[in-house]
Structure 1
């Protein structure tokens, strides 16, 4: 790996970590004006106990509409600090305080007070945990089971259609996710990282060809980076240049997580969602693509015209900060955390969905 590629990888990993910096530091109980916050335990099928955080309007006397929040890929807490500076926490604080809904969050295995290990947890296990959370949420006495919305953020936006397919939900809302396969998403992500990172145009074709060959073996065939390196050193060497890699995983998750994500049929799942859908995309979100996000609403509307809504938030990146340009957003420079343009769209849509389902 060149010094430049090392610096690029470090920059990207730092950006992902900083996106949840305030949440990670939050070790005290949340406090929201006129909101009741309760901490509970979800015991899943293998006996693992997961921490849950549930917020709801304190003055509520009737069954409430509810939001199941399904979070990002990294092993960061979903707890919200008192004065969040990162975009995700600021966004969540606004949804909790302004949606007039019960909001359910589940800490991943090994995060917060949850048992287990996030670093070794695969995609299918995490999906099953969220599925059990949805079941428990639906059974609560204070929840209107006809008014449950699944809200998936980042990788959570890929779990959302799998949870909602052929299920009775009031709606599905996603941010920063698409309906293309994981390998397609990874290719686009790597292309964005190279181009926005200033890689010479003369190197792009060869580098992307090598990454295509690597990702096909890694994600589609299910080979490990070590196996690929042994079979083809030129292709295997790409691993050290791919973003967020380590000896035993990528983005802090095991190889199996990414290989199972590749096997997931997200497009097929979206075709089985029988509820309104809001797909949100930040204009400068280089983690995902415009086309992959609009594919969600194209699939939904092909089945039921008008059911899917797409909204692009100007100048916003993956982490609810706004920047003057795409290159500035990539470099995390000259940006300002400002989730309001996205939150206002979310809240307006949620209000319509909840009133329609009541």
Structure 2
């Protein structure tokens, strides 16, 4: 079944004071945190594993002003016991700038209480671009949009690039961490004269609506569509030179977003183009082989995996129903977003989506990437070129993996995945910028 998505009938892109009134900045707690486990419980002599460990405190944050310190264990927020990281994050989402709360802590075996007054999350700043915080409405969700406009634009109209992130529930609004890959990419695009658009997922960052972990693929795609359609109407945006960059699953969503919002071109990075079950089985076998699993065990695993994926993704059973039949398959049913999101991914006919578009496409993959595969990139290009000859090409880039870590091959990338702060390789950004520049010069 081919999925179709309906853009909300009305939406508004808000900036400046209006945006602040419609979608305020979230409260800035300012702690790095970690869930509790057996090791942490032993190290800090904790009575149980309720709570979260504070691993760092941000400068000028609510937590710093209240006197929280690294190695504190937050056990209670007001009168609510803290169970784990997701529940703690959910508790914090209820607070607005100016609210107060009492945190109950364990510090060196002693119970302390600290009163926090929540300050607003800071704004992103850069010498290379200005930032406009806005919002779009999609269904019941109000989503944060972040538009960067290059400080030194070549003319009154500026080309725009929508940045679609990978799978999972995390915010792309990170003003305090300028060295994240997303910020590095946006910084490079801005220095070369491109405006950028980000849309935070529902329930993440400032976005309001259903929790991200309950949202499905249709909901997420609709948010990107609404954001891009609104940004394309800005008077300073060059509507004839609007692009999408889709990273990982962002490349799966890109042709769906572009179905109703015309774009000049799409760049994908490490994406998939086969059916989701095909991809998952390939990926599981490859990663199990890299991890050194015996081949006979891999075959047993693949047989079980194929069976549970069929029930979950084709028969549309719930994880609970699948586990009732295959109780030892719990590890195989862990996904970074709601299972309905994955079911809708399986329903996609990506070949149909790509061949319907008449736009230029650059498919990129790092040679050390053990999460995506050249087969998918080449298939994507073949689909586009059969329908629209010469519109797409695939380029394999050396010494980089799925998450932009500098690695020579898949085994090294797997080893580095456990290393703290591995070196990154951002050479691919120059490849993207050259392609964007070339595509802008070509007639539609």
TM-score surpassing 0.5? yes
- Structure-1 separation of matches of 2:361 and 2:185: 19
Aligned to 2:378: 294
Structure 1 residues without counterparts, runs of 5 or longer? 1-25
Cα distance, 1:81 vs. partner?
Answer: 4.2
Aligned to 1:315: 399
Contact 2:136/2:144 (8 A) holds in 1: yes
Considering Cα pairs closer than 8 Å and 6+ residues apart, tell me whether 1 or 2 has the greater RCO: 1
What is the DSSP-based 3-state SS (H/G/I as helix, E as strand, rest coil) of the residue aligned with 2:328?
helix
Aligned to 1:277: 361
Distance 1:215 1:353, change over 3 A: same
Contact 1:301/1:308 (8 A) holds in 2: yes
Q: In the alignment, which of 165, 174, 181 is matched to residue 268 of structure 2?
A: 174
Contact 1:87/1:337 (8 A) holds in 2: no
Query: How many residues matched?
Result: 322
> Residues 282-324 of structure 1: CA distance to partner in whole angstroms, max 9, x if unpaired?
1121111110111111111112222101111112111111113
> TM-score under structure 1 normalisation?
0.84
Aligned to 2:341: 257
Contact 1:90/1:339 (8 A) holds in 2: no
Q: 1:326-337 alignment to 2 at 5 Å? A: 326-331=410-415, 332=417, 336-337=422-423
Structure 2 residues without counterparts, runs of 5 or longer? 1-119
Contact 2:246/2:253 (8 A) holds in 1: yes
Q: In the alignment, which of 136, 139, 147 is matched to residue 45 of structure 1?
A: 139
- Are 1:206 and 2:300 counterparts? yes
- Are 1:242 and 2:335 counterparts? no
Q: In the alignment, which of 140, 145, 151 is matched to residue 245 of structure 2?
A: 151
Cα distance, 1:277 vs. partner?
Answer: 0.3
Contact 2:247/2:271 (8 A) holds in 1: yes
Cα distance, 1:168 vs. partner?
Answer: 2.7
Mean Cα deviation higher: 331-340 or 58-67? 331-340
Aligned to 1:142: 236
- Structure-1 separation of matches of 2:186 and 2:214: 26
Superposition RMSD in Å: 2.2
Contact 1:146/1:357 (8 A) holds in 2: no
Mean Cα deviation higher: 190-199 or 325-334? 325-334
Aligned to 1:123: 217
Cα distance, 1:357 vs. partner?
Answer: 5.1
| Larger Rg over CA atoms | 2
> TM-score under structure 2 normalisation?
0.68
- Structure-2 separation of matches of 1:204 and 1:93: 43
Mean Cα deviation higher: 173-182 or 330-339? 330-339
Aligned to 1:340: 426
Distance 1:166 1:132, change over 3 A: closer
Identify, as 1 or 2, the structure richer in helix: 1
What is the DSSP-based 3-state SS (H/G/I as helix, E as strand, rest coil) of the residue aligned with 2:356?
coil
What is the DSSP-based 3-state SS (H/G/I as helix, E as strand, rest coil) of the residue aligned with 1:294?
helix
- Are 1:106 and 2:199 counterparts? yes
